[in-house]
Amino acid sequence: RAKMPEETTELPFSVDGSVVLLVDDVLFTGRTVRAAIETLLDFGRPAEIQLAALIDRGHRELPIMANYIGRTVQTDRADTIRVRLKEIDDEDHVILIRSENP
């Protein structure tokens, strides 16, 4: 497995005893959320960690589920979902790209 370059993360507040809401655009395997939780725990011990996902496409590889879901989309594992946000992309849009080889 290729080693990812190290980056520093800074939090300008304490997470100790807080309720932390993680937000993911597309919840898929759960690996990104797991990495976010591991990083968050390096900064302290929250009272609770909640998860919100704009899109839940299933196919979890880890026992992770969102507390809040914008929309559930049925996909094949090889499909791709792209999320565009007005604040970044000048439009709110979700694009499902179906794989030709499911």
Is residue 37 a contact partner of residue 67, using CB atoms and an 8 Å limit?
no
pLDDT (tens digit, 0 to 9) for every residue of the chain, 102 residues total?
667 677 788 889 999 999 999 999 999 999 999 999 999 999 999 999 999 999 999 999 999 999 999 999 999 999 999 999 999 999 999 999 999 875
- Tokens 């759960």 appear where? 30
Which residue segments constitute the domains of the chain, with CATH numbers given?
19-97 (3.40.50.2020)
Confidence at residue 9, expressed as pLDDT on a 0 to 100 scale: 81
Confidence at residue 70, expressed as pLDDT on a 0 to 100 scale: 96
Confidence at residue 8, expressed as pLDDT on a 0 to 100 scale: 82
3-state secondary structure 25-78: EEECCCHHHHHHHHHHHCCCCCCEEEEEEEEECCCCCCCCCCCEEEEECCCCCC
Confidence at residue 100, expressed as pLDDT on a 0 to 100 scale: 87
Confidence at residue 10, expressed as pLDDT on a 0 to 100 scale: 85
| 3-class secondary-structure state, position 24 | strand
Confidence at residue 72, expressed as pLDDT on a 0 to 100 scale: 96
Is residue 36 a contact partner of residue 53, using CB atoms and an 8 Å limit?
no
